[in-house]
Chains A and B, each alone.
Chain A
Amino acid sequence: MTLSKEVYAEFEDVVGPEFICNDPAIMPSYYATEFAAVILPENTAQVQAIVKLCNKHKVSFRPVCTGWTGKFQAGVVLLDLRRMNRIIEINEKNMYAVVEPYVITAQLQAELMKRGLHLNVKGAGTNCSAMLRGHGHLDQSTGGDDRNHLAIEWVTPAGNIVRSGSLGSSDEWFCGDGPGPSLRSILTSATPPGVTPGVFTRAAMKIYHWPGPTKFPIVGNSPNYALSEIPANFMTRYYSFPTMEKMWQAELKIGESEISFELMGFNVAMVAANITTSNEEEEAAFKRLSKEVQGPGFLIILAGNSAADFEYKKRVLNHIVNAAGGKSLASLEDPRTEGILMCQCIRISASIRETFRPGGAFSSIPVMGQRDLTIKWAIGAGKAKEPLIEKGLIVDDGGASFGWGVEQGHLGKTEIFCKFDPQNAVAKQAVQAWHDEQSARAFKERYFALLSPGQPEEIGKALSNYHVWWNKLQKELDPNRVSPEGGALV
């Protein structure tokens, strides 16, 4: 659907001619979709005005932050939130930061580190918006999923501005819940399969103590960055274990003893990806590291608040690892490699080298929730990858999955990738089949359900009919159905 000249002019009146475009030339840069227009609002008032116009003319809209992924219908008005990129507040005493959608995590993180603070970094990477819902490397000590949000400013699909919690009542960002029932029940931001309809224009995020340096001492030129020294009271190690069960036991105890700053249940393929600067190097490193490990493992970063705290954490870690028969990957103990991995995992969240670099695409089944349960499922999903690896259809990562405990092991996240060349139709098809089979198995065997738009009715039915309620909510909140679902908005 294209906008008539008159309607286009109405949108143009909101943002000015510089910040709206419907030229076909720009469309391919924004996904493979013919948008009705791309609009760059500058503030909440403009977002509201745009949404109201969308309602008036029954035109659908979708917002994006940095816009890593997304699936869009043709004819949608795309709100590229790039101009909404301000850090509104960093409240050190009350441990929260307020940001607009296009503040990337790396920016907020750098500002926080200067103040002895940091934040949860989503798996999508520090190149993505700081205000999203999600999971990442630092979940062990900084929570995850929708649990880092405090108050949120939300332009509803109907064009109302709702300010949740303390923001609506007392103009402060510290609490997102109440008065009474919490609007955070639906203000959960962007995560597959759906997103809260409307647009989040500002959000307060919980922030956390950072015992490290105000800035990592990086030396070298890209991509050969390394740390000139390992920061005081920091340590990064990778431990492998004889069995998955032993690894889980160690992970469980590490969570319970609250010693870990970051615990990343990496497979060595992901370690190899992170410490290397090219695909060739990565392949060689993977082969080398695979020979060094005895089985599945995890990367752990310890961060002490003091020398005594650090020593204690190290002692406990050694005890737990030894009890579980764990073995440190000696080649990662080299301080240069250790520093690369530490900085990579904290400041970048590792994502791109380990996902897109090898083949250009990856298919993933991410599961949030109960770590031990999802590990059980992932073992089978990993085995099912092996024939694809043998046929050379996907990148060899040993068939492994990855994951970590969230909130010192209270919750968890497990994920499994197939990295492949999207130009290879056979590979694409094989990966899709793997994805379908393994998510169907997860559902059938009652591990979890991977939700997606347009999923079969039986999935919703088996999940307390959640879809019925969500559809009702959407209908009420979005009477003109101008805020469609689909895709993440990282």
Chain B
Amino acid sequence: MEQAALVNAIGSGRVSHDPAELESYSSDVSFANRVRPASLVKPRTTDEVHRILKFANETKTPLVPVSSGAPHFRGDTVPSVGGALIVDMSGMKKILMVDRDRRVAMCEPGVTFGELIPAAQKAGLRLNMPLLPRASKSVIGSILEREPVVMPKYQWDISDPLACAEIIFGTGDEFRTGQAAGPGTVAEQRAVGGVQKAPYGPGTASLHRLIQGAQGTLGIVTWVSMRCEILPSLEEPFVVGSCDLDQLLELTHWLIRQRMVNECFILNNANLATIFANPAAADYRSLKAALPTWTLFYTVAGGEYFPEERVGSQIKDITEIAQRLGIEAVRTVGGISANEIMKTVQQPCANPYWKLRPRGASQDIFFMTIREKLEGQIAGMAAQADRSGYAAADVGVYIQPAVQGTSFHCEFNLFYDPGNAKERNRVRELTSSATKSLLAGGAFFSRPYGDDARMILNRDAASVEVLHTFKKIFDPNNVMNPGKVCF
């Protein structure tokens, strides 16, 4: 790549060829092969993104879009090919809109949860967040990756909370999805009272769904609008501990089915201890020992009207269901208060990021599944871990009910010491073998990353063929993050 041409195209202030800086984009916490990019650009405006795409198409330069700050975990921001230009969007940090009545916010890719949460709160709104994103995580990055969210009640569609997006496709064409498409510009829409909220259309296609899960292979998103929820005026958190996961899943089913709870997820003792152990005091082991195998966490909330009455009636109804199942919702588990959990999960993760705390690195295996298969998949993973020499009891498990109870996101966190080659290899091999057997056991890897993506996608050749059609149309020169997903 001609450095001068790049500078000429985009402007010197935005481009870097600093070896140390480039090195930081050449790998991440995952097992992705180390590939050093050729250049780095940090656009500040949509116009600059346009110029980057134009340059890339003219010079056939591979682009790797990145929104979040390090550490990255899934290999999707590490170039798969040489000569790549990293497009680091973290400098686009504007919060473009927060609208209370329409329950919507809009921001640029560089905005993190830590930045958007207070802005939303000021307007009386909240975000439906992933579980404890790292402090550097881009809100848009999370939404585009279809990360699971902690309030399944508000996840009507798996694409939520994404509302609309502006994207510069691989072709260099700008497109706005859903209501934002038009008629007219965003400013013209605003002038008549329109916000960019409805996700579907225009016409038959709903291309926001195409952009999600694409890992930057189809274009670069310059802003996203997202649905927000009303900030509760009263919240009561609860925990239910059990060694019987099925029992907790049954309770979870009814809580979500009747839309009685906001935050709602299940963690195993390894993950709960990882999140709440004091890193300095090294009390992880004792905390883990004090915790039940599984902990369901949920909150009951009231809004503007008679919140006490609302919360009271919900608690009463939940108690009846719990009693029917022979379990009890309480306020603390293993010394961790439900309130502490609530406060923690309503913010991004404090540094250091929880997944790095135990051993310095974590490899995550995550997939979508259903109730009938979940427990078998967890047991299978445990057996596989034990066989590989990784203590099953140390595998972190996060179960997130999704899309109003139609599925679960299940995530295994394999903590390891990245400096220890043996440990690293063991986790790498375990990841690969576990992914294979989970696939065989019906796990649906809806967001395939890294080495295993090809294996996962190969199971569905017909869908892949259609995806290639999309790719041909939206990124005919294959400049967008080549080597990712199935492209």
User: A residues engaging B (CB < 8 A)?
Assistant: 91, 93-96, 143, 145-147, 150, 156, 160-166, 168-172, 174-186, 188, 191, 193-196, 206, 208-209, 211, 252-253, 256-258, 305-306, 308-309, 311-312, 315-316, 319-320, 368-370, 372-373, 376, 407, 409-411, 443, 445-449, 451, 459, 462-467, 469-470, 472-473, 476-477, 485
Closest to A466 in B: B202
Q: Which of B204, B227, B316, B462 contacts A161 (CB 8 A)?
A: B462
A180 touches B213 (CB 8 A): yes
Binary contact track B313-328/A, C-beta < 8 Å → 1, others 0: 1101100100000000
B303 touches A256 (CB 8 A): yes
A315 touches B309 (CB 8 A): yes
At the interface, yes or no: B283 with Cβ under 8 Å from chain A? Answer: no
A473 touches B473 (CB 8 A): yes
With contacts A410-B227, A463-B182, A466-B181 taken as known, whether A175 is within 8 angstroms of B460 at the C-beta atoms is no
B258 touches A466 (CB 8 A): no
In the assembled complex, which residues on chain A have CB atoms less than 8 Å from the CB atom of B456? Answer: 169, 179
In the assembled complex, which residues on chain A have CB atoms less than 8 Å from the CB atom of B258? Answer: 209, 211, 305
CB distance from A351 to the nearest CB of B (A): 22
Closest to A407 in B: B156
In the assembled complex, which residues on chain B have CB atoms less than 8 Å from the CB atom of A312? Answer: 306, 309-310, 313
B406 touches A206 (CB 8 A): yes
Binary contact track B455-471/A, C-beta < 8 Å → 1, others 0: 01101101101110110
Closest to B174 in A: A464
Tell me which residues from 437 to 487 in chain B have a Cβ below 8 Å from any Cβ of chain A. 439, 442-448, 453, 456-457, 459-460, 462-463, 465-467, 469-470, 472-474, 485-486
A96 touches B473 (CB 8 A): no
At the interface, yes or no: B4 with Cβ under 8 Å from chain A? Answer: no
At the interface, yes or no: B212 with Cβ under 8 Å from chain A? Answer: yes
User: B residues engaging A (CB < 8 A)?
Assistant: 101-103, 146, 156-159, 173-177, 179-184, 188-189, 191-195, 197-198, 200-215, 217-218, 227, 230, 253, 257-260, 303-306, 309-310, 312-314, 316-317, 320, 368-373, 403-407, 439, 442-448, 453, 456-457, 459-460, 462-463, 465-467, 469-470, 472-474, 485-486
In the assembled complex, which residues on chain B have CB atoms less than 8 Å from the CB atom of A185? Answer: 205-210, 470
B407 touches A194 (CB 8 A): no
CB distance from A135 to the nearest CB of B (A): 11
Closest to A182 in B: B209
A174 touches B406 (CB 8 A): yes
Q: Give Cα distance in the complex from A147 to B201, angstroms.
A: 12
A166 touches B313 (CB 8 A): no
In the assembled complex, which residues on chain A have CB atoms less than 8 Å from the CB atom of B206? Answer: 146, 184-186, 188
With contacts A180-B215, A463-B182 taken as known, whether A469 is within 8 angstroms of B406 at the C-beta atoms is no
In the assembled complex, which residues on chain A have CB atoms less than 8 Å from the CB atom of B156? Answer: 143, 147, 407, 410
In the assembled complex, which residues on chain B have CB atoms less than 8 Å from the CB atom of A473? Answer: 205, 469-470, 473
Closest to A371 in B: B102
* Pairs of residues from A and B, 4 with the lowest C-beta to C-beta distance, nearest first: A178-B446, A168-B460, A369-B198, A185-B210
Known: A180-B214, A188-B206, A209-B259. 12 other contacts (CB 8 A): A170-B459, A175-B407, A177-B209, A177-B213, A178-B447, A179-B457, A181-B209, A183-B466, A185-B205, A185-B470, A256-B304, A449-B183
Q: Can you offer 6 A-B residue contacts whose CB atoms are under 8 A?
A: A147-B157, A175-B406, A177-B213, A182-B158, A316-B306, A463-B202
A411 touches B209 (CB 8 A): no
A465 touches B175 (CB 8 A): yes
Q: Give Cα distance in the complex from A96 to B486, angstroms.
A: 29
In the assembled complex, which residues on chain A have CB atoms less than 8 Å from the CB atom of B316? Answer: 306, 308
A180 touches B448 (CB 8 A): yes
B372 touches A93 (CB 8 A): yes
CB distance from B318 to the nearest CB of A (A): 10
With contacts A188-B206, A195-B204 taken as known, whether A175 is within 8 angstroms of B446 at the C-beta atoms is yes
Q: Give Cα distance in the complex from A329 to B313, angstroms.
A: 29
CB distance from A47 to the nearest CB of B (A): 15
CB distance from B253 to the nearest CB of A (A): 6
A179 touches B446 (CB 8 A): yes
Q: Which of B188, B201, B313, B459 contacts A446 (CB 8 A)?
A: B188
Q: Which of B179, B406, B445, B472 contacts A150 (CB 8 A)?
A: B406
In the assembled complex, which residues on chain B have CB atoms less than 8 Å from the CB atom of A467? Answer: 203
With contacts A94-B371, A185-B207, A473-B205 taken as known, whether A160 is within 8 angstroms of B447 at the C-beta atoms is no
Q: Give Cα distance in the complex from A485 to B203, angstroms.
A: 11
CB distance from B261 to the nearest CB of A (A): 12
In the assembled complex, which residues on chain A have CB atoms less than 8 Å from the CB atom of B443? Answer: 170
In the assembled complex, which residues on chain A have CB atoms less than 8 Å from the CB atom of B320? Answer: 306
A169 touches B445 (CB 8 A): yes
Most buried by A among B189, B205, B309, B404: B205
Closest to A177 in B: B158
In the assembled complex, which residues on chain B have CB atoms less than 8 Å from the CB atom of A411? Answer: 197-198
B183 touches A172 (CB 8 A): no
Q: Give Cα distance in the complex from A407 to B230, angstroms.
A: 13
In the assembled complex, which residues on chain A have CB atoms less than 8 Å from the CB atom of B470? Answer: 181, 185, 473
Q: Give Cα distance in the complex from A464 to B208, angstroms.
A: 13
A446 touches B192 (CB 8 A): yes
A465 touches B203 (CB 8 A): no
CB distance from A142 to the nearest CB of B (A): 9
Q: Which of A161, A256, A373, A470 contacts B192 (CB 8 A)?
A: A373
In the assembled complex, which residues on chain B have CB atoms less than 8 Å from the CB atom of A156? Answer: 466
Q: Which of B180, B200, B218 contacts A146 (CB 8 A)?
A: B200
Q: Give Cα distance in the complex from A464 to B206, angstroms.
A: 13
B406 touches A308 (CB 8 A): no
B200 touches A145 (CB 8 A): yes
Closest to B312 in A: A308
A186 touches B205 (CB 8 A): yes
Q: Give Cα distance in the complex from A410 to B459, angstroms.
A: 36
B368 touches A175 (CB 8 A): yes
In the assembled complex, which residues on chain A have CB atoms less than 8 Å from the CB atom of B369? Answer: 174
With contacts A180-B486, A206-B403, A446-B184 taken as known, whether A320 is within 8 angstroms of B305 at the C-beta atoms is yes
In the assembled complex, which residues on chain A have CB atoms less than 8 Å from the CB atom of B214? Answer: 180-181
Q: Give Cα distance in the complex from A309 to B48, angstroms.
A: 53
With contacts A94-B406, A451-B202, A469-B205 taken as known, whether A175 is within 8 angstroms of B158 at the C-beta atoms is yes
In the assembled complex, which residues on chain A have CB atoms less than 8 Å from the CB atom of B197? Answer: 369-370, 410-411
Q: Give Cα distance in the complex from A145 to B204, angstroms.
A: 11
A462 touches B305 (CB 8 A): no
CB distance from A261 to the nearest CB of B (A): 11
Q: Give Cα distance in the complex from A345 to B445, angstroms.
A: 40
Q: Give Cα distance in the complex from A143 to B404, angstroms.
A: 11
CB distance from B466 to the nearest CB of A (A): 6
With contacts A146-B200, A463-B181 taken as known, whether A469 is within 8 angstroms of B175 at the C-beta atoms is yes
